[in-house]
Amino acid sequence: MTLLSRLVDEAAMRRPEAPAVRCDGETLSYGELARRSHGLARVLLGAGLEPRDRVAVLLGKGLDVPVAFHGALASGGALVPIDPGSPVDQIVRILRATGARHLVTEPGRRDAVRETLASCPEISSVVGLEEADDLPLRPIPWSSVSEQATDRPPETGTIDLDPAYILHTSGSTGTPKLILHTHRSALAFADWAADEYSLRPDDRLSNHSSHHTCFATFDFYAAARAGAATVVPTPATLKMPASLAALLERERVTVWYSVPTALVHLSLRGGLEDGDLSSLRWVLFAGETFPAKHLARLRRQLPAARFSHVYGSTEVNVCTRYHLPEGVEPAEPLPIGTACSTSATLVVGDDLEPLPDGETGELLVRGSTVMAGYWGDPAANRRALVRRPTAGGFDDLYFRTGDRVRRLDDGNLAFVTRADLQVKVRGHRVELEGVERALRSLDPIEEAAAIALPDGEGSSVIHAVVVTDDPAASPRKILDDLAGLLPTYAVPAEVVILPSLPRTPTGKVDRTALRFRLLPEETHHAH
């Protein structure tokens, strides 16, 4: 099997009636998913799609999403999933940057699509809208996809080194990064995930994230690789931890994958003691630190589940993992583990030369799951992808993660901080991750972020933003408690208590939004 688009076809051949995707009580079988995906592929080809053309997908969560994803691949095009919450100007930037000429959407987005087309005349086809006079081109309705549904995929000539999908970052600082994965790198990840977590046809996978993120690639592609089902939570389900817990119980979800924050809220407010989540056999988390106090409580609440800390940015999919030992209290912070079977890692200094074990340096990664590069950004590729000579006159290509790590005595890697989260305060180097870890260790604190702002004199001032529902917690008390945990220069100058932290679509803390957001009037300050 050499193409990502063949995963669904293979699963449909083995078990056509098996559920592929469930959402809001509705089910799409693998046979139906394959036929509808082929139908969309034929519609796109009929609309003039050429090999490697980019196909943008602008859809909310639902059963049309996997049809669009797999249909775009089956057409020989490259999938460009767009965050459905994006404003029109962001949609336009992504369409222009990727050169997408085809758009798959849904009737409820007519107004956004109309505005988008006004700025993107290069879009030659829109699938998913009914014909209307207010659009500059004649759209193709979803009914045409059903009419062309067939068991036979079209012949496209696609090979495994061709583009499969382009994922975009949030773009909160301006221009989003566009990360290109080939069929080969995406399949390598799906194969690894299915093998590493022993995915089976009776598994049900789910995650909290938007379908344009790397979390969704685990669900849609690793699940198809195993012939398992993906359970897609609706936005309404994700709003309340109790409703998410009810979904996991009702759907008998076996593998969950999210940022730790979603799991912290599930543990604190999901009513897990009153439900039955014994079906969960793997809980995967990534993207941020999981405070030991919350992780220990969740493990007690889900005694039947194994827990795995997976690490890797969208550029590399997953490159290391750490399966928490059973019966052992979690360390603080957790290791990010050892390299996956698809990856090799190096810890290097500023000169990009390997460092001895125990020393802190930047993590470099090479492997079959690494991206092809940043779409349309050769300068970024030169910075992020470096070649190192090896035996026989060949070069190994490594991705620079920008993360600072060190190798522990047991061989596991320990995350130290992001290179861009190490700041200088009055001549001292401070790792903001360490400040956040100290904040989260305090009993009343649920979430925390440390932000460094310039002081105008070449140094930085640290500000802390925390979430707590403890009415007795105060900024002054938090600062006093921190004084016993951190050096004086690392104690924040200010603590701000918020009801929640702003998040990117993947669930990570949106640090840019924290820097620029206007704090509500009821926010409490301490100086």
Evaluate if residue 527 carries a pLDDT over 50.
no
Q: Provide the pLDDT for residue 304.
A: 95
Residue in 487, 492, 500 with CA at minimum distance from that of residue 476: 492
Evaluate if residue 174 carries a pLDDT over 90.
no
* pLDDT tens column, 357-415: 999 999 999 999 999 999 999 999 999 999 999 988 899 999 999 999 999 999 999 99
pLDDT averaged over the chain? 91
Is 95 within 8 Å of 56 (Cβ atoms)?
yes
Evaluate if residue 274 carries a pLDDT over 60.
yes
Across 37-74, b (16+ Cβ under 10 Å) vs e yields: bbbbbbbbbebebeeebbbbbbbbbbbbbbbbbbbbbb
- Judged on CB neighbours under 10 Å (0-12, 13-18, 19+), 352 is middle
Percent over 70 (pLDDT), the chain: 96
Q: Provide the pLDDT for residue 307.
A: 97
Evaluate if residue 517 carries a pLDDT over 80.
no
Is 414 within 8 Å of 471 (Cβ atoms)?
no
Report how far residue 428's alpha carbon sits from residue 311's, in angstroms, rounded to the nearest whole number: 29
Residue in 4, 105, 102, 86 with CA at minimum distance from that of residue 54: 102
Is 357 within 8 Å of 350 (Cβ atoms)?
no
Task: Say what the pTM is.
Answer: 0.87
- Domains of the chain are 6-182 (3.40.50.980), 216-334 (3.40.50.980), 343-416 (2.30.38.10), 426-516 (3.30.300.30)
Report how far residue 234's alpha carbon sits from residue 290's, in angstroms, rounded to the nearest whole number: 25
Mean pLDDT of the 12-21 span = 98
Cis peptide before 333 (omega within 30 of 0): yes
* φ/ψ (deg, to 5) at 495: -120, 130
* pLDDT tens column, 225-239: 999 999 999 999 999
